[in-house]
Amino acid sequence: MKHLMILAGLTGLAACSTGKQGTASLPPVTMISPDSANHQMARFSPDGKRLFWWEPAGQVNQLWTADAKLGNPTRVPVTSLGIGPMLWSPNGSQVAVPSSDAGLIQVAIITAAGGTPRQLTSTSGISQPVAWHPDGDHFAYVSTTGGKGGGSFQSFVTSVSRGGAAPLIPGESRPDFGYWSPDGSHIGYMVVDGSHMTIWVADSVGRNPRQLTTDGFESFGNAEWAWSPDGKELVYESRRTGTSDIWVVPIDGGERRQLTRDIRNDTYPLWSPDGKWVAFLSDRGKQTDIWVVPAAGGQELRVTDDASVEELMQWLPGSRLAFLTGSGQSGIWAMSLADSTERRLTPDSLRIDSPRLSPDGAEAAVRIYRGGGVNDIAILPVAGGAMRTLVQGGDNGDISWSPDGKRILFTSDRGGTADIWVVDVAGGEPRQLENWPGREYGPAWNGDGSAIYFLSDRDTRLGDVWKVAPTGGEPSRVTKAGSLNGLMTRRGRPELYASVIGATGKFEIVRVTADGKLVPVSQRSNAFPTDLSPAGDSLVLTEFGTGGSVGFKVISLTGHGEGQPLLQPGEDLSWISEDWTTVLYRIPNGSTHDLGLLNRKDGTRRRLTTNSIEEGGGALTPDGKTVVYLQRRPLRRIATVDLTKLLAGSPQ
């Protein structure tokens, strides 16, 4: 869910490198998963003989384990709202995973064979697994933390056998992520200082810190394998040129070296077991593929070359790589409520998502996946007809219509980093509303469309609210809390609501006043604002409880009480009409969802779809006659590739 993206995010053009190579010379890929699988975040054991993976299961993801060929699969009694890292202990006897069974997201420990999990963390907000110490007992995790004036996040270390918790880097007041070297003698860590991210190293207990990079655009793209096998170097991503390249820095103070120089993004680097190669993902060639490059520098070699999206790589014993691959299909459909007939609005040849209906319901703004990190924005007539591309190039998202339906607000990295843009629906060049080096996200129109709010990590710990006119100009800062995540506005209303990491480290709902004050609305267990009533006196909130439960409640902003459930347990909110009388919601159907309509006036329900295809992300046209929605067939498969011949035949 988008509310859980806060931790995921906190993890001049150079000359283009060709790395040309015929597809006939590429190593063959072995598929482990069946053709129709939707496997998520798979991780093999250190010896490559066993693996764990996630599969979607309603509102949560279900953990599974099996042997290396998916034989004898066993359901593990762990579910999680988010797809977080699964970390094997050094000796392969245990696995640390994110779990929502005892909170929003916490760390649980499971034996290699599965079985009953043991809760390792119990914090008020989110805790995610980060790294095992080589001794197999000490464990690092990152957690949301409280504090006077607002919360943040920080890395902690605990003992698996004895418990307890202490900062991984004592004395570090800024957010950090840290990982031990292979022999445990050092900690390599990333410091997040607003939009400024740098790489540091300290001794085994976090003392004697030394800064290794200074540009401020560096991050561990794949921190689990950031350390070289000999513990002398760290591999990282740098966006100093505007797109991501792979770099290596020695921890003894030697010269850094740049391994890739392509004009597209090179990400997710990881060392080979012998330390001679670095595998990485690249968007070059209008698709995301796997490449390798000599760790000492040299020619990049392509490993995969297909339209599927590769991700989440892992080196296995020898020269094998494991990874996830696939793309699936997705498109926009319309259903007539009069007779339940369905018609497809987009062709099979395109992968399209994020339908956003215009205020008059005549058109939908959609995102088209072009591959290679490029996602265009297009306008689609709901009644049928040709789709027209509105924004081309870059990774574009967070689409929303202006209240008058004349402009589209979106985020894009087309300028080098994630920024806020606006474009006229009639066409023309998009306008960049700010050009800051950090991360700007979560844009929202104010009630009358005269201004745009957005979140930025500029000069802050995590995020603050800024305001800018749709026509451009210098943005003005609204809040100075440094701990905001997610904005919510409503057409025709002046209010601005947000989620914030509160003083106890959990997520809370606040109203943001015009002068930047944060007025508490709900201090419930990790709740997020979702919609505001037409009169502004009630709020729909999304509330995360124990056992991976997600609930949607209507609470009064003028009175007290626990509020009333909007939907039944297990159901997901897709859309609520402007007058709050009709709700489009998702109904669990095995590992997928169907769509249903709720009439809030009389409580009647109507199931719209009954199939095994994932559906959601839709809305009802203002005339109440048509539902426009997304239909997709997700496909993620576990695969391996043996690079022995490829690497042996290439000079280093």
Are 393 and 374 in contact by the 8 Å Cβ rule? The answer is yes
Tens digit of pLDDT for each residue in 222-258?
778 899 999 999 999 998 887 889 999 999 988 999 9
Mean local confidence (pLDDT), 596-617: 92
pLDDT at 146 over 90: no
Helical H segments across 363-494, by residue range: none
With 0-12 / 13-18 / 19 or more C-beta atoms within 10 angstroms meaning exposed / middle / buried, residue 525 is middle
Mean local confidence (pLDDT), 22-30: 77
Q: What per-residue confidence (pLDDT) applies to 279?
A: 97
Q: How far apart are CA 612 and CA 593, in angstroms?
A: 8
Q: How far apart are CA 257 and CA 295, in angstroms?
A: 9
Q: How far apart are CA 594 and CA 609, in angstroms?
A: 5
Q: How far apart are CA 210 and CA 544, in angstroms?
A: 39
Q: How many angstroms separate the Cα of 56 from the Cα of each of 37, 312, 416, 543?
A: 11, 17, 33, 20
In a domain, residue 565? The reply is: yes
Which strands sit side by side in the sheet containing 614-620, from one edge to the other? Answer: 342-344, 329-336, 626-633, 614-620
Are 237 and 244 in contact by the 8 Å Cβ rule? The answer is yes
Tens digit of pLDDT for each residue in 90-122?
999 999 999 998 888 999 999 998 889 999 999
Mean local confidence (pLDDT), 345-352: 90
Which tokens is 230 given?
Answer: 């000999």
Question: In the chain, what percentage of residues exceed pLDDT 70?
Answer: 95
Band (523; pLDDT cuts 50, 70, 90): low
Are 249 and 214 in contact by the 8 Å Cβ rule? The answer is no
The position carrying tokens 């094997």 is 88
In a domain, residue 453? The reply is: yes
The single-letter code of the amino acid at 199 is: I
Band (509; pLDDT cuts 50, 70, 90): very high
Mean local confidence (pLDDT), 38-61: 92
The single-letter code of the amino acid at 388 is: R
Q: What per-residue confidence (pLDDT) applies to 84?
A: 81
Tens digit of pLDDT for each residue in 148-158?
767 888 999 99
Mean local confidence (pLDDT), 299-321: 92
Tens digit of pLDDT for each residue in 399-438?
999 999 999 999 998 877 889 999 999 999 999 999 998 8
Residue 651's contacts (CB-CB under 8 Å, 6 or more residues apart) are: 298
Tens digit of pLDDT for each residue in 612-646?
888 888 899 999 999 999 998 888 999 999 999 99
Q: What is the DSSP string of 226-289?
A: -B-TTSSEEEEEE-TTSS-EEEEEETTS---EE----SS-EEEEEE-TTSSEEEEEE-TTTS-E
Strand partners, 294: 277
Q: How far apart are CA 188 and CA 178, in angstroms?
A: 6
Q: What per-residue confidence (pLDDT) applies to 19?
A: 42
Q: How far apart are CA 102 and CA 121, in angstroms?
A: 9
Q: What angle do CA 145, 146, 151 make, to 5 degrees?
A: 85
649 versus 128: which is more confidently predicted? Answer: 128
Lowest average pLDDT, out of 99-103, 386-390, 573-577, goes to 99-103
Band (24; pLDDT cuts 50, 70, 90): low
Q: What is the separation, in whole angstroms, between the first and last Cα of the chain?
A: 43
In the 8-state DSSP scheme, what is residue 217?
B
Which tokens is 63 given?
Answer: 């953990």
Query: Of 105, 127, 149, which marks where a domain is finished?
Result: 127
Mean local confidence (pLDDT), 488-509: 92
Mean local confidence (pLDDT), 17-25: 49
Q: What per-residue confidence (pLDDT) applies to 634?
A: 84
In a domain, residue 503? The reply is: yes
Are 459 and 450 in contact by the 8 Å Cβ rule? The answer is no
Q: What per-residue confidence (pLDDT) applies to 9?
A: 39
The position carrying tokens 């793309």 is 327
Band (15; pLDDT cuts 50, 70, 90): very low
pLDDT at 14 over 80: no
Tens digit of pLDDT for each residue in 157-200?
999 999 999 999 999 888 889 999 999 999 999 998 877 899 99
- Residue 454 exposure: Cα atoms within 13 Å on the Cβ side: 29
In the 8-state DSSP scheme, what is residue 395?
B
Which tokens is 470 given?
Answer: 């749709």
Number of folded domains that form the chain: 2
Q: How far apart are CA 201 and CA 176, in angstroms?
A: 12
Are 523 and 151 in contact by the 8 Å Cβ rule? The answer is no
Q: What angle do CA 195, 461, 196 make, to 5 degrees?
A: 25
Lowest average pLDDT, out of 31-35, 54-58, 258-262, 478-482, goes to 54-58
Residue 647: enclosing H or E segment and its boundaries? helix 644-648
Cα 156–chain centre separation = 22
- Residue 640 exposure: Cα atoms within 13 Å on the Cβ side: 18
CATH code at 514? 2.120.10.30
Q: What per-residue confidence (pLDDT) applies to 224?
A: 82
Length of the chain: 652
Q: What angle do CA 347, 350, 355 make, to 5 degrees?
A: 85
Which tokens is 646 given?
Answer: 């490829």
pLDDT at 571 over 70: yes
Mean local confidence (pLDDT), 521-540: 88
Query: What average pLDDT is seen over the chain?
Result: 90
pLDDT at 22 over 60: no
Region for residue 113 given its phi and psi (left: phi exceeds 0; alpha: psi -120 to 50; beta: otherwise): alpha
Q: How many angstroms separate the Cα of 285 from the Cα of each of 236, 326, 352?
A: 22, 17, 20
CA-based nearest residue to 337, from 632, 618, 631, 591: 618
Query: Of 127, 157, 190, which marks where a domain is finished?
Result: 127
In a domain, residue 446? The reply is: yes
Tens digit of pLDDT for each residue in 289-307?
999 999 999 999 999 998 8
Q: What per-residue confidence (pLDDT) applies to 505?
A: 87
Which tokens is 583 given?
Answer: 């709700």
Q: What per-residue confidence (pLDDT) applies to 421?
A: 97
Question: In the chain, what percentage of residues exceed pLDDT 90?
Answer: 68
pLDDT at 8 over 70: no
In a domain, residue 460? The reply is: yes
Q: How far apart are CA 595 and CA 572, in angstroms?
A: 9
Band (650; pLDDT cuts 50, 70, 90): low
In a domain, residue 295? The reply is: no
Pairing of strands 210-211, 218-219: unpaired
Query: Of 65, 94, 127, which marks where a domain is finished?
Result: 127
Q: What per-residue confidence (pLDDT) applies to 59?
A: 82
- Residue 210 exposure: Cα atoms within 13 Å on the Cβ side: 13
Strand partners, 537: none
Q: In terms of residue numbers, what domain contains 120?
A: 29-127
- Residue 415 exposure: Cα atoms within 13 Å on the Cβ side: 19
In a domain, residue 165? The reply is: no
The position carrying tokens 């005269």 is 450
Q: What per-residue confidence (pLDDT) applies to 18?
A: 37
Mean local confidence (pLDDT), 542-546: 83
In a domain, residue 313? The reply is: no
Band (25; pLDDT cuts 50, 70, 90): confident
CA-based nearest residue to 420, from 366, 353, 325, 487: 487
Q: What per-residue confidence (pLDDT) applies to 651?
A: 59
Are 147 and 169 in contact by the 8 Å Cβ rule? The answer is no
Q: How far apart are CA 347 and CA 344, in angstroms?
A: 7
Are 417 and 438 in contact by the 8 Å Cβ rule? The answer is yes
